[in-house]
Amino acid sequence: MAIFYYLIFPGFLFATIAGLLTAWFDRKVTAKVQWRKGPPILQNFYDIFKLLIKEVTIPDTANPTIFLLVPAIALSAASVATAMLGVVNMNWSYTFVGDLIVLWYIMSIPSIMIIIGASASGNPLSSIGASREMNQLIGYELPLVIILATIIFKVGSIGLGDILAYQSVNGPILYSISGVIACIVMIICLQAKLGLVPFDIPEAETELGAGAFMEYSGVALGAFKLTKAILLYTSPIFIITLFWGGIHIHGLGILWAILKYVLFIALFTLIRNTNPRLRIDQSVRFFWITMTILALIAFILMSIGY
Amino acid sequence: MALGLNSLKKSIWVYHVACSPCNGCDIEILDLLTPRFDVERFGIVLVGSVRHADALLVTGCVNRQIKPRLQEVYLQAAKPCVVFAIGSCAVGGNFFRRSYNMAGPVDRAIKEVDPNAIIVYVPGCPAKPEAMISSVVKAIGFLDNLKKVKV
């Protein structure tokens, strides 16, 4: 059953399809914002299938083993994160102490794999991308962990199932002042985790070519694209699980779940389309000062009961 | 394989190689990628790295300085990769063809390193965006031939 969960339903296969459709939605909304027609609904599937038949090039300067192993690890980590969230949302009893912490670690593995892969490729522009990704990781993890601490203290448990059970009894965490502030900080941190536009500094196309992904081609690039798509699908579910009472896949609950999901995806896309790219120092300062202060305010408001 | 090639026709990622052009064709290429023509409808996206590219948009006349670099860029691209020679300079040298520093048009430089390269010619000074879209349609026809040969 665990294999089924991991490979088929909430895990890899479902997350791939949902993630690629979500990535299409993102591109379509972007096109609408720019008064274009936008790509067809299966565009991201075409992209991935095409990358499967492309040649995989390995630069002379690269360490081939690490270079090719890293996308696979990133993809499997993203699938594990999706499967964990999906299973907990299906049944609250499928939780264990500290699975929020485990999930948080697993969701940062793709970023670390991008850093390792870019360093292993031996390309100077990739190594700049890797250093920026590392700076960014250090930047957004601080407010993110304060937000997670806020939720853990409010609920009094580190289990995702307990967080969902708490919200079904006391109402979603989002419906409070501290919850709203924490949710805003969380959305912006996940925007950086996904590498979407105001924080797409590691792969800044106009400065670094493709930055950290510069030397990847063929299946390896496809694995990274798929990882990004799966994380794009997982992040709104992560927010909904922590703040908005989770996803219910029974009866009419599924419509409400899709509505919440689309709302968060549209928010990510609109933030992406209405902001210019920051410099890396601006980005780190933004996360360490503005976002950390907001996260601390949320923490203090929560601890005095708002 | 057939699924991959069918997908390749619907998702062509282009990389822009400027071989000492006058910028006329480059501006037309950028014009092609603007919302007015909206080539993302057909899956055409400009990518930043040659490793991701399915098509190289080469502009300008290939001189002695740029020729080894163009060949290197072509070898770095992941195959299958189509080369678009955009503008009269890239197609045949235009009025620079007798110049002392010319090293032949784009097709000759590419064929030196890969005799089987697929090269699409888009004449015009500068080439129009409509001509480029039409050339992409022709390149897709080439990919159909490729499928017949391989499968």
pLDDT (tens digit, 9 = 90+) per residue, B40-60? Answer: 888 888 888 888 888 899 998
- How many interchain CB pairs under 8 A, A with B? 88
B151 inside 8 A of chain A by CB: no
Which residues 52-81 of chain B have a CB within 8 Å of chain A? 52, 54, 76, 78-80
- For residue B58, the distance in angstroms to the closest alpha carbon of chain A comes to 17
| C-alpha distances out from residue B112 to A115, A158, B102, B104, B109, Å | 37, 63, 15, 11, 5
Q: What is the tally of helices (H) and strands (E) in chain A? A: 13, 0
| Chain A CB within 8 Å of residue B2 CB | no
Contacts of B52 in chain A (CB under 8 A): 210, 213, 216-217, 221
- Mutating which of A217, A221, A228, A273 best tests the B interface, going by the most B Cβ atoms within 10 A? A217
Contact A201, A280 (CB under 8 A): yes
Choose the closest CB to A221 out of B35, B52, B76.
Answer: B52
From A48's Cα to the closest Cα of chain B, the distance in A is 8
- Assess whether pLDDT exceeds 60 at residue B148: no
Of B8, B41, B79, Cβ closest to residue A50: B8
A40·B41 Cβ contact <8 A: yes
Q: Which residues contact A150 (CB under 8 A, 6 or more apart)?
A: A178, A182, A295, A298, A299, A302
Q: Is A214 in contact with B47 (Cβ distance < 8 A)?
A: no
Which member of A46, A210, A216 has the closest CB to residue B11?
A46
ipTM of the complex: 0.86
pLDDT at B48: 86
pLDDT band at B151 (very low <50, low <70, confident <90, very high): very low
Q: Which residues of chain A have pLDDT under 50?
A: none
> How would CATH label the architecture of B13-144?
3-Layer(aba) Sandwich (3.40)
Q: Does B34 touch chain A (CB under 8 A)?
A: no
Q: State the average pLDDT for chain B.
A: 85
Q: What is the pLDDT of residues B74-132, one digit of tens each?
A: 998 988 888 999 999 888 888 888 889 888 788 888 999 988 888 889 998 888 988 98
Its pTM stands at: 0.91
Distance (Å) of CA A91 to CA A80, A86, A87, A94, A151: 17, 9, 6, 6, 20
Residue B143, pLDDT > 80, answer no
- B35 to A214: CB separation less than 8 angstroms, yes or no: no
- Contact list, B11 vs chain A (CB under 8 Å): 43, 46-47, 50
Question: In b/e form, how buried is each residue of B90-124, taking b as 16+ CB within 10 angstroms?
Answer: bbbbbebeeeeebbbbbbebbeeeeeebbbbbbbb
Residues in chain A with CB shorter than 8 Å from the CB of B10 are 40, 43, 46, 50
Residue extents of the structural domains in chain B: 13-144
